[in-house]
Amino acid sequence: MAGLAAHCAGDEWRRERFWAYLWLTNLASDHRGPQAVVRAAAQCRAVAISLGDARIWAALHAFFGLIDARRGVLRTAHEHVERGTKMLTN
C-alpha cells in the first residue's frame, strides 16, 4: 500500500511539474525567443512521457498549437490541435 501511495504522490508531483513547464513554455514563446521555447518544450515532453496520460498529451498539443498560431505557423498549429483532439476522443 505504501508503494502505491508513493507512486501516486510521484505522479502528482510530475503533473504539477508538467503544468509549470507548459506555462513556462507559453511565456517563453512570448518573451524569450525560439531557443528558450525549445528547451522548455523538451522539459514538457519529457514529463509527459513519464506520465503517459492522454489528457496531458492533449494539453501539450493544445498549448503547442497556440504557440505556433501566435507565431503564424497555422498549418502546424492546426496539426497540434488535431492530434490533441484525437487523443481525447480515443
With a pLDDT cut of 90, the percent of the chain lying above it is 61
DSSP character at residue 59: H
Q: In the prediction, which pLDDT does 32 show?
A: 77
The more confident residue out of 31 and 4 is 31
Tell me the average pLDDT of the chain.
87
The model's confidence at residue 31, banded by pLDDT at 50, 70 and 90, is confident
User: What is the sign, positive or negative, of the torsion defined by CA atoms of 24, 57, 73, 40?
Assistant: positive
Angle between helix 74-89 and helix 54-71 axes, rounded to 10 deg: 160
What is the reported pTM? 0.81
More confident residue, 45 or 90: 45
